[in-house]
Amino acid sequence: MKQLQVYLNKARFGIFVLFIWMFLYNGYSFSETSNTLIDISNSSQYSLSILKDISNGLTDFFGIINRKVGSKATNINNKDNKLVILSMSFNQLSSSPNSLGNIIDPDEDVEPAVTSKPLVYPNPFRQSTQNGAILSYDLSKDFSFEIHIYNMLSQRVFKQTFQEGGPGARKGANRLQINQESLGGYLLSSGVYFYVFVHNQDVLAKGKMVVKP
């Protein structure tokens, strides 16, 4: 009976030692497995983060971005999380200290020009009549200019100045009546005359008209 008790005690001790050994061994394995799981988790987080960036279109827009595992940056393109203002240009507005914006003339860079051949209708015509004739022409923009009328002897018999934006000096189509009243009461004698458009001493266009008696 005593021997059986000793045997049982030894068996219990052996089982205890085996249990301790298995516990320590499994704990070590569990620790290694846990470490491995952590590494896999980090790698998965990294992969998912890259996929998320691609799905959001970040890599396509900003190019290839190197990102370290474990980075705590919430915005990999702007780690300071600051708002970035894109530079913009406006063609129609200009800023000044005294105003929010001034309208810029869209035709500022357009050269003053007569864009169609000036025509007089009817031609020939009688200036002495009330209707006289109509001079039609097109301008590239609003600008000031002069119309000179010369006779066959190259003598200037009439000149009129048209102010920018006023009647006859506006962008697009213009029509002027030629009669005794429009020429300031001056009555042209019958004959051939030349009309010339002048801007800053430059001839922009010219034409010919015939006045009947």
pLDDT score recorded for residue 108: 79
| The pLDDT value given to residue 67 | 46
Work out the burial of residue 207: count CB atoms within 10 Å of its CB; fewer than 13 is exposed, 13-18 middle, 19 or more buried. middle
Question: What pTM was computed for the model?
Answer: 0.51
pLDDT at residue number 3: 63
Average pLDDT, 10 consecutive residues per value, the chain (213 residues): 63 68 57 43 51 52 44 46 41 49 70 96 90 94 96 93 94 92 87 96 96 91
Cβ-proximal residues to 82 (8 Å cutoff; 6+ apart), any chain? none
- Dihedral sign (CA 154, 114, 112, 146): positive
| Dist CA 32 CA 40 (whole Å) | 12
Tokens describing residue 48? 């998912």
Cα separation, 82 vs 175, in Å, equals 60
Query: Which amino acid, one-letter code, is at 26?
Result: N
How many angstroms separate the first and last alpha carbons of the chain? 163
* pLDDT on residue 192: 96
Beta strands in the chain (DSSP E): 93-96, 99-103, 119-121, 133-139, 145-150, 156-162, 172-178, 191-199, 202-211
pLDDT confidence of residue 181: 87
Q: What per-residue confidence (pLDDT) applies to 128?
A: 84
Q: What is the pLDDT of residues 136-174, one digit of tens each?
A: 999 999 999 999 999 999 999 999 999 999 999 999 999
